[in-house]
Structure 1
């Protein structure tokens, strides 16, 4: 058995102008003493203190490298400073906030790679703020792939009712169609299959959604389903995977939600996101696959319109943390 890190999970602050610090503090309030002791935060300690006060939570914090005289119940924070030094206004896009959000993720990756933490949980960041800081990523998944040197990464949305993994995510619809290749579909299925196996599922049942209406209707609405997707599925079946497809996207998600499949491969962002968010908006967890590290996240944005008003709901953060703890328990068995 491998040596376990001192912290089972590490939670990044996200964009400090958004609701990330608040929902993290709400989640901390609901944890047991043991769970809090196994949780490491990454961000600015003063921001967390302010967030706790905003939601009237009695939480104590100390820095990872701080004095050993800190209260035993204090939540440990790996301090990340405002590197740009400019003000970070609440509920607004700013380069300083984008840079801090990036540095929090960068620090969390380093902590996991150094064996100090097990699974990363990310609070939401804002892509416009990220780009304002000249950090040109399409979101957490692409950023994590870059930081870890992974050749590819995949986004899985997990819920109790329906789970999807995406062939492509944050690209234009035109580019998403171009990314539908035999190789990418095979890699997506393999990543999803391996993840479900790690969670204890012996033979995951995977459905591959079609790209075109009614899977192209025999070529009338496009030939990608027969020319690309079906051959990919056939190769996977020959390799021993329990996979079916292409199945028309207007029925496959319903069938999966009724228990026929454990996972649906969506061909592009909205095809997978819309049904999952419709069914389980508050409890869907975003999971990054194909990386040398494990990461879960909330599946919502920074909610600038309600940030720092004490109104943010931590339901989705609680779900992301619970899923991360499940993955951390899997690490204990490695």
Structure 2
């Protein structure tokens, strides 16, 4: 047998072996490949730190960003409030507009903003003071203009830290993301926690639905939709959207789910929690069955050659019905809220 023929045979056998064994690699998505480094933005005032940017354009093309701000001497679970900034472009400069939500008896945190027809929709985490840390719930508010006050739903909290799920008690509902589905119904995907796993509880992705924006919302009967609790791991910070006939969900891979699915997870005792690794993106035809993810975005080090820090809270800025920028909170020593990445040439 000639040498080159032998080499070809060896390569074919190797490929067949790999195919038979199954390639478990979590590949980088076309979405992730489209991301181009932008800029760190929204520096906090002295004594405060900013977190979780939710961007949207108004009818005139003005950029609005809603985010959490927390005093250094306080804690986000008791002292966070949602603030509002505007700019002419993502690079800034940004101008403070107002404190959108703040209350002495509660903490408002992790907003996500959308538009349905002529109505703007804001969903957020709300945590009443004096309740256990785990007892977080979800609120929703609407407005016809970003220059006018928001009106909270009479059904708030629209998703409560109560009820049943998967044969267990719901003890936590937070970090909501809102979309309109293919049937015109309203969906909120969110982070849920139950008392099923003890003593630890793991974050799972769940769904609540309504025929009206303001609610009431009903939990999907087969919740949770995405869970790794049985493997003792979880994911965080969902951002879901419906685009070109498909549902997508971008999440923070806080406990090396990528390694778990590839069959080589980082041991729990060596795992650094939080968004210190690439995020994941899931794709679904119905928004119920999500399957296996791909890499959704990389770390701050990948984009900016900085020391590794937690990149979390993914949120997309849309323009003319297309995703234009991905915003990410970044928990590093920089006083900014985080950074944005340009989405260029994404072919979904």
- Normalising by structure 2, we get a TM-score of 0.28
Higher helix share: 1
- Point out which structure has higher relative CO (alpha carbons under 8 A, 6+ apart): 1
Higher strand share: 2
